[in-house]
Amino acid sequence: MSRISLRSPLAAPATRSDTREGVGLAQVPQILRRSIGWIVGPTLVVALGASIFVNVVSPRYTGEAKLILESRDPAFARTAQERTDQLAPIDEQAVASQVQVVMSRDLAREAIRRLKLVGNPEFDPGSSSIGPVQRVLMMLGIGANPLDRPAEDRVLDAYFDHLLVYPAGKSRILAVEFRAKDAKLAADGANTIAQLYISSLEADKVDTARYASSWLGGNIDGLRKRVAEAEAKVEAFRAKNGLVGSGGATGQPLTTQQLGELSSQLSQARILKADLAGRVKAIKDLIKDGRAFEITEVANNEVIRRIVDNRISVRAQLALESRTLLPAHPRIKELHAQLEDLDAQIKTSAERVVRTLENDAKIAGSRVESLQAAVDGQQDVVVKGNASEIQLRALEREAKAQREQLESYLSRYREAAARDGESATPADARIVSRAVTPELPSFPKKLPIIGFATLVTLMLAVGGVLASALLADSGHREQDADSDLDPADRAARREPGLERPGFAFPEAMPAAQWSEAANEADPAAVATVPAVLPAAPRAPTESYDLAPLIARISAVAREPGDRSGRRVLVMETEISEGDQVLHDALVRALGRKASLVTVNLNGAGAERGFTDLVAGDAAFLDVIQPVPGSSLHRIGAGRARADVLFDESDALSLTFEALAEAYDWVVCRLHAAPGAVDLLELTAGSMDSVVIASNASAEDPALADLYAIAEDAGAGQILVAQDRPAEHASAVNHAAPELRLNAA
């Protein structure tokens, strides 16, 4: 028999919060039926009050007129530039600005006068009489006399309360709503305000055009005088400095024009001179080569043409005679002499042409020299006149600017004068929908008001009844929780910071030792674990008082939305037999009200069981067996060795989860047998609660080690309870028991 090695000096499980549900959804109809009077009564009262209100209150009518914002300037009233450029579109900011214009005070005062709202009791209640309270306040100097204010100002606040102007969506439509007790006044008010707004836009345009024409007319006369003075200065300066223009399109001075003409003539003379020189050189080259008859001037001469024809006939005769006669023959010599005489005549004519061209070239050269001298002289004249011309151009620019400004003012004056009329330029808005006299009041809406008030009251009444039920249930649960505790636990709840120690055995520890153990325990490290107190036998068939234990394992905190069954592991520290052991009593108590399956985790048997299920050798239907004489189910240990549970740890966790999904309670049992401590360490992390069934003393270190093992494994909560009733425990505990468990 080996002892269990210590893992921690005194393990402390984490404190678990109480997650008992309050009022369930299924209880809501019952609560509502029980409190039907508190729901129907206020609802009927409010419905009746709303009905009386909508029938007693004075109805109000709403008249609505709609305007559209757009540019309505006719084409003839626009300038050429305005007709060319498209007008800027009206954006949301412009529409919002026009809303403020409609609600301006000046327009409001005019509307009040036209609608005759002064003296109307709805808009001017203080005009009829002054009440006694207000008279007393006026005498004390606290209140002001409403009649001291202008009539229109007294009505302004009420007027703006009854007026609503807003843009219709994201369009350029303005909606004007006016509310009043008189339906005709509501329609007239909306139409009057819309018409006043359009009239104000038209008046603004007329005023602008009138102001522009007046201002332009006053400045045009002075501008005309300045233009005349500037042009007179230009002409006087031009005449004084001899800068007389030609009057043509160019408008240049005569000196400049003369210089241009001389320059053109000089260029032509130079061209002519160069042409003659070139022709003379070409003719001389032709004469030198003996081709004088190819010269154009020579060839075009009638005499030369006859000489050339004779030369051709002589050369023909010479060629004919040379066939029969020798070169020394007189006939041949005669023909040669005639040919030379004809060539000399052609050459003489060519030289005469050359001399003529040379004479023309000399004349052209003389003309070039004379024109060059004239151009040089004219340049000196132009240079001297440039300084004066600079001043002349400055004067001309000034006169031109004055002239253009005058023309611009005249054009604008004519346009402004054309617009200076009542109907010359329409307003940039027009009425698209006039208000008509409403037949139905806009307030009160009888059915919506009654229905809304009734619905809200009904919802508030239902919410109040449910809240009251929840608060009452919370108080009852607190009282029930206090009543389930023993006096020591209730005292610990009343004293902050004092908690019960982790191991409680009331039979083995008197009240004095309980107090001492509570003072020595660390409240931050030890959780409250109540013991299952063996009370007097309640029935011949049951010797345990399991209510505190069942309440504790039922109150383990769960994840939100987790509806699976609860998993409990009962760890027995001694070999127990018979029907009076804690495991069997707990199974019978839990199985009376819910579905339950009990699982044997250690040992081996001849039938298939839990180890075969984890190993995959058997299915759930093969290992789940009914318990005879009850509605409970059980799963045996199985044929396979317990080592398969350590090899298939993931399959073990999935098996526990699957059982918890199918049953409300999964109660596992570990017997006092070799290897039970290792199985406790393996399976405690998958359990919501671990119950150590032991009759040992609270100071037993082996019991503390079991507690530490279960805590380190991650158990939800750890409880220590007696393993047998009081009548059996007294017979067994005659000597100090040891934990008969093998850690190997």
Domain shared by 449 and 378, yes or no = no
Same domain, 559 and 614: yes
Shared domain for 461 and 403, answered yes or no, is no
Query: Which position has the higher pLDDT, 416 or 292?
Result: 416
| Same domain for 697 and 606 | yes
177 occurs within a structural domain: no
Lowest mean pLDDT among 106-115, 204-213, 635-644: 204-213
pLDDT bin (cut points 50, 70, 90) of residue 528 is very low
Residue 183 lies in a domain: no
Whole-angstrom distance, CA of residue 89 vs CA of residue 95: 11
The answer to whether position 45 is within a domain reads yes
What pLDDT shows up at residue 252?
65
For residue range 707-732, what is the model confidence (pLDDT) as tens digits? Answer: 889 898 888 899 888 776 544 444 44
Please check whether residues 509 and 649 belong to one and the same domain: yes
Residue 336 has pLDDT above 90, yes or no: no
In this structure, is residue 185 part of a structural domain?
no
pLDDT exceeds cutoff 80 at 106: yes
Task: Look up residue 615 and give its two tokens.
Answer: 């190993």
At 68 the pLDDT is: 92
Measured CA to CA, the distance from residue 479 to residue 638 in angstroms comes to 46
**Mean local confidence (pLDDT), 102-116:** 92
Q: What are phi and psi of 252, to 5 degrees?
A: -85, 155
Question: What percentage of the chain carries pLDDT values higher than 70?
Answer: 72
Is the pLDDT reported for residue 379 higher than 90? no
Banded model confidence at residue 269, pLDDT cuts 50, 70, 90: confident
The predicted pLDDT at position 83 comes to 52
Position 303 pLDDT exceeds 80: no
**Residues whose CB is less than 8 angstroms from the CB of residue 615 and which lie 6 or more positions away in sequence, other chains included:** 640, 644, 648, 651
385 confidence band (pLDDT: 50, 70, 90): low
pLDDT of residue 18: 39
Max mean pLDDT range (456-460, 479-483, 511-515): 456-460
What are the structure tokens assigned to 120, written together?
A: 């109307």
Buried b (16+ CB within 10 A) or exposed e, 37-54: eebeeebeebbeebeeeb
Q: Based on the domain organization, do 512 and 470 belong to the same domain?
A: no
Q: Which of 410-424, 468-482, 523-537, 662-676 has the highest mean pLDDT?
A: 662-676
At residue 69, what is the residue type?
L
Which domain does 606 fall in, by range?
489-732
* pTM of the full structure: 0.43
Query: What's the pLDDT score for residue 248?
Result: 46
Write down the H helix ranges in 241-329: 254-288, 296-299, 302-321
For residue 37, being part of any structural domain is answered with yes
Lowest-pLDDT range of 205-209, 292-296, 692-696, 712-716: 292-296
Gyration radius of the chain over CA positions: 64
Average pLDDT along the chain: 76
pLDDT of residue 523: 33
pLDDT of residue 567 exceeding 90: yes
pLDDT at 297 over 90: no
Is 636 found in the same domain as 502? yes
CATH of the domain at 509: 3.40.50
Cα(532)–Cα(549) distance, integer angstroms: 6
Pair 370, 466 in one domain: no
- The pair of structure tokens assigned to 166 is 């807003």
Task: Quote the pLDDT of residue 236.
Answer: 84
197 assigned to some structural domain = no
Count the helix, strand and coil residues of the chain and give each as a percent rounded to the nearest 5.
60, 10, 35
The number of folded domains in the chain is: 3
Confidence check: pLDDT of 548 > 90: no
What does DSSP assign to residue 430? E
Q: What is the pLDDT of residues 585-633, one digit of tens each?
A: 888 888 888 899 999 988 777 788 999 999 888 898 889 999 888 889 9
What is the reported pLDDT for 137? 66
What is the per-residue pLDDT across 85-100, written as a single tens digit (0 to 9) for each? 555 567 788 888 999 9
* 620 and 721, same domain (yes or no): yes
Closest CA to 505 of 691, 694, 690, 669: 694
In a domain, 466, yes or no: yes
Q: Please say if the pLDDT value at position 14 is more than 60.
A: no
pLDDT at 78 over 90: no
Residue pLDDT, tens place only, 120-160: 888 887 665 565 666 666 666 666 656 666 777 878 888 99
| pLDDT(519) > 60 | no
Q: Give, in degrees to the nearest 5, the angle at Cα 158 between 157 and 162.
A: 120
The reported pLDDT for the residue numbered 527 is 35
- The pair of structure tokens assigned to 400 is 């031109």
- Tell whether the model's pLDDT for residue 62 goes beyond 80: yes
Statement: residue 537 has pLDDT above 60: no
Does residue 444 have a cis peptide bond before it, meaning omega lies within 30 degrees of 0?
yes
**C-alpha closest to that of 408 among 419, 418, 398, 400:** 400
Query: Taking the CB of residue 403, how many other CB atoms lie within 10 A of it?
Result: 17
Based on the domain organization, do 493 and 537 belong to the same domain? yes
In a domain, 32, yes or no: yes
The 10s digit of each residue's pLDDT in 481-511 is 555 544 444 444 443 333 333 333 333 333 3
Of 484, 499, 533, the last residue of a domain is 484
Residues 391 and 258 in one domain: yes
Choose between 447 and 494: higher pLDDT. Answer: 447
**Same domain (yes/no): 454, 496:** no
**Pick from 602, 691, 743, 643: which is nearest to 7 by CA?**
743
DSSP 17: -
The rounded distance, in Å, linking the Cα atoms of 104 and 108 is 6
Across the range 394-421, mean pLDDT stands at 82
Tokens coding 714 = 């991650």
